[in-house]
């Protein structure tokens, strides 16, 4: 029996999880063994093999692949031109430099946004424009205000559309060298950054499933990745739904308690008034005290 078959049989008999304990070189071999089984292609197509260190040793798990990862995604069509721009896209078109992108990529970026918004709205989600006329610096792109948002089942997700930056080593000019010699505070840059025509979508908010960023690659442009992005929006909305329903139920229970307290306060008011009046009333049969004789 091969090692792969033996490991799968052991995992099956143990319910999908085993922990290899011990010490020394034999235990240290398990990460590479698990990696070799993954590369062998002998893990069932609907399963995933995981390995990691735990308190008891090295934990190995064989788990079912989530159904959403096996789902066949329909491609999202991208318009070749704008016949009816979405209101979010129109807000961007009104900017002098939409999204802070160079003119060479603005049209494509807006068409990608249009396609994504239409696909997610067809799935029952809503969208809104954000700060549509700026490009955040690279060190703030994960915390910057979104260019637009999509709300799925109460979960609002922010999107930034960025233009990649190609960095090349800077060759100092004679002028820069002369100025650096004359002035000690002048620093010659080490790199030059040039914006290519590659784009990147950055998604924030909610629980991550597939990814939070998608970028153009030579064999996989963003047009081919829009279906994954649209699915990620739906998955994050579904993940947030139990929390949203819990918050609604908590608010309902709070309202019920408040209304019950108000009814109790209103019903007890006449009794308190009557009790106060009886305490102020003079006892029956009493007479005013004698006046001082003169």
pTM: 0.69
Query: Which DSSP state fits 99?
Result: G
Domain boundaries, the chain: 3-65, 87-241
Per residue in 150-176, pLDDT tens?
Answer: 999 999 999 999 999 877 787 788 888
Please check the confidence at residue 118 and state whether its pLDDT lies above 90.
yes
Residue 224 has a CB neighbour count (10 Å cut-off) of: 15
155/131 Cα distance (integer angstroms): 19
46/69 Cα distance (integer angstroms): 10
Please check the confidence at residue 236 and state whether its pLDDT lies above 70.
yes
Section 237-249 average pLDDT:
75
125/117 Cα distance (integer angstroms): 9
Residue 283 has a CB neighbour count (10 Å cut-off) of: 5
Per residue in 24-35, pLDDT tens?
Answer: 888 989 999 999
- The region, left, alpha or beta by phi > 0 then psi within -120 to 50, assigned to residue 95 is beta
**Would you list the DSSP string of 123-166?**
TT-EEEE--TT----GGGTTTSPPSEEEEETTEEEEEEEEE--E
Identify the CA nearest to 129 among candidates 87, 101, 163: 87
CB distance 43 to 37 below 8 Å: yes
Helices and strands counted in the chain (H then E): 8, 10
The band of 222, judged by pLDDT with boundaries at 50, 70 and 90, is: very high
């Amino acid at each position: 029996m091969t090692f792969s078959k033996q490991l799968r049989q052991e995992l099956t008999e143990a319910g999908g999880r085993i922990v290899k304990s011990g010490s020394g070189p034999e235990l240290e071999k398990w990460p590479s063994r698990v990696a070799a089984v993954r590369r062998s292609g002998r893990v069932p197509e609907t399963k995933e093999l995981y390995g990691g260190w735990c308190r008891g040793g090295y934990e190995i798990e064989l788990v079912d692949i989530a159904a959403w990862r096996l789902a066949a995604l329909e491609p999202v069509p991208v318009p070749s031109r704008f016949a009816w721009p979405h209101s979010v896209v129109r807000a961007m078109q009104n900017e002098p430099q939409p999204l802070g992108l160079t003119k060479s990529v603005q049209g494509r970026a807006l068409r990608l946004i249009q396609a994504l918004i239409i696909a997610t709205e067809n799935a029952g989600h809503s969208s809104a424009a954000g700060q549509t006329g700026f490009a955040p610096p690279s060190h703030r792109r994960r915390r910057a205000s979104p260019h637009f948002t999509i709300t799925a089942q109460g979960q609002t997700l922010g999107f930034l559309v960025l233009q990649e930056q190609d960095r090349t080593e800077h060759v100092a000019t004679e002028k820069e060298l002369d100025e650096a010699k004359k002035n000690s505070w002048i620093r010659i840059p080490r790199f030059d950054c040039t914006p290519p025509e590659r784009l990147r979508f950055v998604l924030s908010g909610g629980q991550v499933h597939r990814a939070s960023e998608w970028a153009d690659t030579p064999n996989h442009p963003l047009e081919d990745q829009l279906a994954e992005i649209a699915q990620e929006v739906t998955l994050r909305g579904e993940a947030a739904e139990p929390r949203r329903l819990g918050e609604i139920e908590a608010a309902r229970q709070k309202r019920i308690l408040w209304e019950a307290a108000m009814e109790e306060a209103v019903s007890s008011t006449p009794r308190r008034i009557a009790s106060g009046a009886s305490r102020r009333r003079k006892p029956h049969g009493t007479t005013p005290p004698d006046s001082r004789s003169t």
